[in-house]
Structure 1
Amino acid sequence: MWSDETLSQRSSFKRVVRVLHVGPGRGQLGGIASMMGELENLQARFRRANIVFSFFETHGFQSARNLLGFALLDLPRFILVLMRDVDIVHLHVSVRGSFYRKFVFSLLAKLTGRKTIFHLHAGNFDRFESRAGKLTRLSISRFVQGADAAVAVSVTIGQELIRLGVDPAKLYVIGNTAGSAEFVKDAGLPTLKNDGGYLAFAGRLVEAKGIGDLLKALALLRAAGCVISLKLAGDGDVHHWQRMACDFQVDDLVTFAGWLDSDAKLEFYRNARVFCMPSHYESFGISTLEAMFSGVPVIGTRLGGFLDLVEEGVTGYLVEPSSPQALAARIRRLMEDPELAERMGKAGLARARQCYSTEALSNLYVRCYRDVVAH
């Protein structure tokens, strides 16, 4: 339910605000797609605050066929949608193709007099901007500075947006939600640990997520006499990482679970002793939050969203990126001390409930939308 303060605000704000969320198409994987799904599941909650959502899904730019679909299908369809009752166009932005698509949509939204929100999800946007050509950098400035509000998924991303010219008064730091994990834990399900616990990772199986560092840390631990099982959930070039695990002589310790959804994903977290995501950059870290809601201590890197999520030494540990030695030391500490791991997991659950509940974050969105339409 809404807090008393929000209920009071809702009763005094009668106008219905219609928000169009623009993001990736159905069936796509990744952080933005997950967040769009979370928002879609929360529609009833927002309607109680007179906020009505609709969703516009776009083609990617991965092929000529997708580009053609964007030009011939997405653009005309988007114009038709704008002709309906839309107050705010909420653009969920990452790098490369995601940025260019949303920039075009923002121009169309502005031409039709709609308010826009620039919502940055990418932890590597600064790299994208610094390596871009002059025209792209001008487009970034126009897009970011021309938006009626900007949303950052973490404090670090918010600082990046300010550097790009966002007015701090128009900036809202709103983390991601993890509703499925939050509500399952609230149902009082027991922690499983059926196989004694393992080290868990969930996300894209790419170098930027630190998979190589994780496998190297596993090899260092084995060489020190500490044998730990690692389970990786996610999609990517599994054969590449299997070969690397063989090169490090830890292939017998590594299991690739594939992309997990719903109950299978939650069981994956709840059976883990420790969750680890040693990313080289990370805007937020939805998997990390899901692990926290599952009562599992986390190890991340000292950057991006991890700085918001993890309370060092209380809910888990942070290490420098690309540091397998430091990673191995923290993994060993938690894997060999079940009582410490359990204590940190409980602290992480408490932090997740306090700072990242769907109620708390929904209230921040409501405030953002009302501020935008009021100015």
Structure 2
Amino acid sequence: MVVVDERWWMMRHGTLVPGSGRPVGDADWPGTPPRVASAAELPPSPSLPRVKVLHVITRLEAGAGGNTLLSAQGMDPARYEVWIAGVPGGPLWARARAAGLRTVEIPGFRHTLTPADLAVLWRLTRLIRRERFTIVHTHSAKGGFLGRVAARLCRTPVVVHTFHGVSFHPYQSRGRRLVYRRLERVTRRFTHRFLAVAPRLAEQVVEERLAPPGAVRVVPSAVDLAHIPERFDPLARRVLGTPRTTALVGTVGRLDHQKAPLDFVRMAAALRAERPDTAFVMIGEGPLEGDVRRLAAELGVDLTLTGHRTDAAWLVAGLDVFVITSLYEGLGRALTEALATARPVVATAVNGVPDLVEHGATGLLVPPADPDGAARAVRWLLDHPHQAADMGRQGRRRARRGFTPQAMCAAVDACYRELLGLPPPAPAPAH
């Protein structure tokens, strides 16, 4: 009878760990993940502290406001506790609260510089000191100045500033340009990282010495495209009240100085002189609405003004050509939405717009303050429908691939993690 030593047999066949005297477990085999107990098997886990982030923005509306809200909503709620502070009023505050964000509408906060800003600075400082934010992330010129000064006074560990556009431009008075340039340069010393919504905008802020070289990262301004049509929508056209046989040219935006709505009216008048069968629509409201109506009547332009519409991004799908006549524009939220619906576009070549609209490929570019040039570009698209459709399809691909909220939030998260010394998130397990 042969007697086999059990320990020798286990070691011989790889079932005993040499030198330990214990059987081989899953953890002893290379590449074998350890067994993880289910949540039901474990005692309850303690709540881990989250990173507190405060976004300070002048106005939570339009492109910059929508971009800020999307980036705040998209952060991992298990890791970040996100707050937003800014000028009271506007429809996006309710959306922010519904998304679970903490909001602070600061009394006395206005979008222009006033003596009351000292009180706003005091309130911001109290808020930051009381809540002990780890990150203060500022947006826009005035919000960026007050937010960064308050963060400096409270010794906030991390300060980030996003450029959604430039705070000064050639169409301002020289004194106003000097003031805003000075405010930006003063507060750049208080900022640990700068973000820009477009490459050309990043280049511009470095050239203007608003940020030091190497400190700016491009995080394209995203748009929630989930509920926007990918092509022309006949129902949107019917809502706009224009027959399909009539060419419809339109725009979306606030009727203010930046968007140059009077240039849109002049463009429409120049186009109608050669294409009298064309209709025009402006979706939006603002302080220049009365001026727009008077100029349209004076020039004999049959123009529809819809006022503010919550479904503006959908209505764009009923246009034949989308136009922006902005004098300055970080990137253009409405422009991104128009491209996403495969609309042929004409846009002014300002700031970050040429990063989105490539002339002859995804649309046509024209100089700012040139309504006759815009009219010629629109007429070309109407006269060349096949080429216009090709541009629309290429624009749709660019908008839907490069400007998603997921990509934007991942870039912001990477910025925060780097500044805090945190590792990148673990990759999702493969299924």
Q: Same fold (TM over 0.5)?
A: yes
Please tell me the residue identity of whatever aligns with 2:188. V
Cα distance, 1:183–1:119 mapped onto 2, change above 3 Å: same
3-state SS of the aligned residue for 2:381? helix
Residue 202 (structure 1) aligns with = 252
Aligned to 1:353: 400
- RMSD across aligned C-alpha pairs, in angstroms? 3.0
* 1:176 counterpart = 2:221: yes
SS at match of 1:54: strand
Q: Residue in 2 aligned with 1:245?
A: 296
Counterpart for residue 319 of structure 1: 366
The aligned counterpart of 1:340 is 387
- Please tell me whether residue 223 in structure 1 is matched to residue 273 in structure 2: yes
Describe the SS at the equivalent of 2:131. Answer: coil
Indicate which of 158, 164, 171 corresponds to 1:115.
158
Deviation string 1:41-84 (CA, Å, 9 cap, x unpaired) is 324xx336x344222233433699x965x655773464244443
1:141 aligns with 2:175: no
String of CA shifts for 1:94-136, please: whole Å, max 9, x gaps: 3xx445433432433xx33421112222334355796359886
Q: Does 1:150 align with 2:194?
A: yes
Question: Map of 1:186-335 to 2, 5 A cutoff?
Answer: 191-192=233-234, 193-194=237-238, 195-196=243-244, 198-236=248-286, 237-250=288-301, 252=302, 254-261=303-310, 264-335=311-382
Question: Which residue does 2:425 correspond to in 1?
Answer: none
Residues in 2 aligned to 1:62 and 1:174: alpha-carbon distance in whole angstroms: 24
Asked if 1 retains the 8 angstrom alpha-carbon contact of 2:328 and 2:351, the reply is yes
| Residues 103 and 139, structure 1, Cα contact 8 Å, conserved in 2 | no
TM-score, normalised to structure 2, is 0.71
Determine helix, strand or coil for the equivalent of 2:84: strand
Per the alignment, in what secondary structure is the counterpart of residue 299 of structure 1? strand
Q: Which amino acid aligns with 1:255?
A: T
Q: Give the Cα–Cα distance (whole angstroms) in 1 for the partners of residues 202 and 66 of structure 2.
A: 20
- Rate the CA distance shift 1:265–1:71 in 2: closer, same or farther, 3 A: same
> Residues 63, 132 of structure 1: CA spacing in aligned structure 2 closer, same or farther, 3 A cutoff?
closer
Unaligned stretches of 5+ in structure 1?
1-13
SS at match of 1:169: coil
Shift in CA distance, 62/20, structure 1 to aligned 2, threshold 3 Å: closer
Q: Deviations over 1:155-211 (max 9, x none)?
A: 2321232131523332111121111xx11147x787224432521111121243232
The answer to whether the 8 A contact 1:220-1:325 is kept is: yes
Distance of 1:135 and 1:290 partners within structure 2 = 33
Task: Tell which structure's C-alpha radius of gyration is larger.
Answer: 2
Report the Cα offset of residue 92 of structure 1.
0.8
Q: Contact 2:231–2:343 (CA<8 Å) still a contact in 1? A: no
After TM superposition, the structure 1 stretch with the greater mean CA deviation from structure 2, 286-295 or 111-120, is 111-120
Match of 1:368 in 2: 415
Report which of the two has the higher share of helix: 1
State the Cα deviation string for residues 231-280 of structure 1 (Å, max 9, x = none): 10111222211111112111x2x10011111xx21331111111100211
1:33-48 pair list within 5 angstroms: 33-43=65-75, 46-47=76-77
Q: Deviations over 1:2-34 (max 9, x none)?
A: xxxxxxxxxxxx995432111246xx5333322
| Matching residue's letter, 1:32 | A
Distance 1:31 1:67, change over 3 A: farther
Distance 2:212 2:165 in 1: 19
Identical pairs, percent: 22
Distance 1:293 1:67, change over 3 A: farther
Given that residues 124 and 281 in structure 1 are in contact (C-alpha distance below 8 angstroms), is that contact kept between their aligned partners in structure 2?
no
CA contact (8 A) 1:145 1:165 kept: no
Return the letter of the residue paired with 1:155. P
| 8 Å contact kept, 2:128–2:151 | no
Distance 1:189 1:278 in 2: 23
Alpha-carbon spacing, 1:129–1:53, altered in 2? closer, same or farther (3 Å) = farther
Could you say which residue in structure 1 is the equivalent of 2:53? 19
- Does structure 2 conserve the Cα–Cα contact (< 8 Å) formed by 1:157 and 1:283? yes
* Counterparts of 1:332 and 1:84, CA distance in 2: 56
Do the aligned partners of residues 373 and 272 (structure 1) sit closer, same or farther apart at CA in structure 2, a change above 3 Å counting?
same
Distance 1:324 1:134 in 2: 28
Q: Partner of 1:205: helix, strand, or coil?
A: coil
Q: Deviations over 1:265-300 (max 9, x none)?
A: 133111111110021111111110111122212111
Letter in 2 for 1:101: L
The one of 206, 222, 225 aligned to 1:162:
206
Letter in 1 for 2:222: T
What is the aligned residue count? 344
1:135/1:77 CA distance change after superposition, 3 Å: closer
Match of 1:10 in 2: none
Give the C-alpha shift of residue 365 in structure 1.
Answer: 1.0
Aligned CA distance change for structure 1 residues 131 and 325 (closer, same or farther; 3 Å): same
Partner of 2:30: none
For the structure 1 residues 134 and 35, does the alpha-carbon distance in structure 2 shift closer, same or farther, using more than 3 Å as the test? Answer: closer
